[in-house]
A and B are shown apart, each in its own frame.
Chain A
Amino acid sequence: MAPSPDRHDAVEPVLRASGLHKSYRSGFLSRGGAVRAVAGVDLDLYPGETLGIVGESGCGKSTLARMLVGLERPDQGEVTFRGRPFFSRGGVPRDIRRRVQMVFQDPLTSLNPRMTVHDIVAEPLRVHRLTPDGRGMRDRVGELLSLVGLSPDRMNRYPHEFSGGQRQRVGIARALATEPDVIVCDEPVSALDMSVQAQVVNLFAELQRTLGVALVFIAHDLAVVRHVSHRVGVMYLGRLAEMGPAAGVYGAPAHPYTMALLSAAPVPKPALRGRTRIMLAGDPPSPVAPPPGCRFHTRCWKATDRCSEVEPALEAVGDHYAACHYAERPAS
């Protein structure tokens, strides 16, 4: 995608997360420990950029996303929107709510099957009383639908009458309705067919170009994330393992986990079949009892005793950051 926007030091981030922690207790009085879904994540999102987040299932991507939009209140840490904290007493201030929107993974379940597309897209407008009901509302909804490439004359139909890709467009139209500054997308294309994925990915790219909205793009498909993001964060068991400009993270991964991930990803080129791949042993550990020290040390080929004792911090490695005691330094 477009080259990375200007250096960030100069600009204020729109969204900043610092020291986010979130645990889930499963069930009332359950004896199992809490699931530590997110355990200490910091990140900044700058205006107009796309921040990609990749990671394996259960590593806390969705939880992070929900905290970023204020659906979940962090146990520790704080999310700020242009310097203002998300949670003041009572809840999320309405104007911040308006400015930060979300697109969900499953386009079908994120649209109420009992509402027409018009009502779905109009919901945010009604809640925030942005447009009076009636003609004005219909025009505005039509406009939003056109923006995402849907024909406005189908606005009185129900979600199940649309195909997967179209449904996801409805979800995007809803997110755009309040003219947000930030849209957090939690795996917005994983539920779509491969032939439709590209349509939606292209739509995101185009919307960002034309509207300048900042995106957090969460996915487990490395190639898709690479394709849309300026910067990429790699999560492992509730923490960021690596973070930096997409080209840097993909081109010269510093964290062993990133390397393994890139190496394990199947490549649709039969010619490359013979390449040597890093095959990790075992499954990711359970987030209920994350390993001490570096969370990756149980599966890491580089691990030493130190890794199982000292938790590495996210530190600058070249143009990006990695949380590894033995991070791969750029050759130069």
Chain B
Amino acid sequence: MSEPPVLEIRDLHVTFKAHGREIQAVRGVDLTIERGQTLALLGESGSGKSVTAKAVMGLLDHARVRFETARLGGRDLLAMGPDELRSLRGSEMTLVFQDALSALNPVLSIGDQVGELYRVHRGLSRKQARARSIEMLDLVGIPAAAKRVNDYPHQFSGGMRQRILVAMAVALEPDLIIADEPTTALDVTVQAQILELIDRLRRELGTAVLLITHDLGVAAEVSDRVAVMYAGRIVERGEVGELYDRPAHPYTEALLAAIPDLDSPATELRAIPGAPPSPAETPPGCSFAPRCSRASEVCGSTRPPLTILRTGSGRASACHHSEEMLDGALT
């Protein structure tokens, strides 16, 4: 453990104010990613995945953001001034957006947008930046990159645009790539290509990846570790194989049971009743309790903290019943 983790976040809270009400989008999230590792942040819509990512990147201007610890490769982000933080963004930690069409500036050429990174962080001239951009576009598999640097985003297909975003994310060989649902807008066949690309670059560059997704399949395919979010909190985390095999939180368990299985199509799906709570609400107990089949009285009144489980390998779960779940699974 000589090397510090690439990212270390402790007790992240994000609160928005809207229509006179407070929305606690993220309520005490801890995250740690080691070098070369992919952590999948799983969770359904509105659970706070993107907000977490933006808070880490420092992109939330209008929200109240509170960390206890925020370290990037051992450097304390909380102690840094705005300029210092800015110099990290784009070079040490980078972001891949979900919707490439809206994330690329429609009025600037691709070369300009990729090259901007080199000009801002490396102080390269326009010409040098352009040359580097072409290399990068080549690397992510844009055909005839040299010819296409001067094209504009609308002239590329969806898959190409996503590749361009990836190119920007890896251009300066960052320590950390945060990919916010990078493939949900894409077709299955293209999605596979992009995931493969990110994975390859991660291996080659030794970068850590925070992969945000709501697709259990995607997480299963590429991540080393998984953290499951529900209503602004991480409810379970662990190594990917273990977590899928023996979920220690009823929500994870229910999610896995709700996916149709290609191999056993005839079985009825086990649906989770109800809907996720609104982020404006703060019930006292476990947020999942109203939908949970295991819920007992204590679940409605006391919120279970995220506790390390005895199975080791960094597994943790926030459920009053996780031990019995694991026992049940073992027997």
Contacts and interface: CB of A to CB of B under 8 A. Distances in A.
A and B touch in the complex (CB under 8 A): yes
Interface of A: 1-2, 56-57, 163-166, 193-199, 201-202, 205, 220, 222-224, 226-227, 246, 250, 260-262, 264-273, 277, 279-280, 282-284, 286
Interface string B228-272: 000000000000110010000001001110111110011011111
Nearest to B214: A194
B328 interface: no
13 contacts: A56-B188, A194-B44, A194-B214, A196-B275, A198-B260, A264-B191, A265-B188, A266-B215, A266-B218, A268-B216, A268-B259, A271-B241, A283-B190
B188 A264 contact: yes
Nearest to B251: A195
Contact of A224 (B190, B254, B260): B260
Contact of A195 (B44, B189, B218): B44
Question: What secondary structure prevails in chain B residues at the interface with A?
Answer: helix
B281 interface: no
Given A56-B188, A227-B260, 19 more contacts: A193-B275, A193-B276, A194-B255, A195-B291, A196-B271, A196-B272, A198-B258, A198-B271, A202-B269, A220-B188, A222-B188, A223-B259, A226-B260, A265-B188, A271-B241, A273-B221, A279-B196, A280-B189, A283-B157
A269 B187 CA distance: 20
Given A264-B191, A266-B221, A193 B269 contact: no
Interface string B276-288: 1000000000000
Contacts of A220: 187-188
Contacts of B20: none
Nearest to B190: A283
B217 A227 contact: no
B159 interface: yes
B63 interface: no
B220 A1 contact: no
A198 B269 contact: yes
Given A202-B269, A279-B196, A283-B160, A268 B258 contact: no
A266 B262 CA distance: 11
A53 to B, nearest CB: 15
B158 interface: yes
Given A164-B275, A165-B275, A266-B220, A261 B188 contact: yes
Given A223-B262, A269-B244, A283-B158, A195 B221 contact: no
B301 interface: no
Given A266-B217, A270-B241, A195 B258 contact: yes
Contacts of A270: 220, 240-241, 244
A220 B184 CA distance: 12
Interface of B: 44-45, 157-160, 187-193, 195-196, 214-221, 240-241, 244, 251, 254-256, 258-262, 265-266, 268-273, 275-276, 291
Contacts of B195: 266
B220 A273 contact: yes
B239 to A, nearest CB: 9
A284 B190 CA distance: 9
Contacts of A194: 44, 214-216, 255, 258-259
Nearest to A200: B271
A227 B217 CA distance: 16
A194 B268 CA distance: 16
A222 B271 contact: no
Contact of B272 (A56, A198, A246): A198
A222 B262 contact: yes
Contacts of B272: 195-196, 198-199
Given A265-B188, A280-B189, A199 B262 contact: no
B275 A1 contact: no
A195 B255 contact: yes
Contact of B262 (A195, A201, A226, A264): A226
A128 to B, nearest CB: 32
Closest 4 CB pairs of A and B: A266-B217, A163-B275, A227-B260, A56-B187
Contacts of A227: 260, 265, 269
B262 A193 contact: no
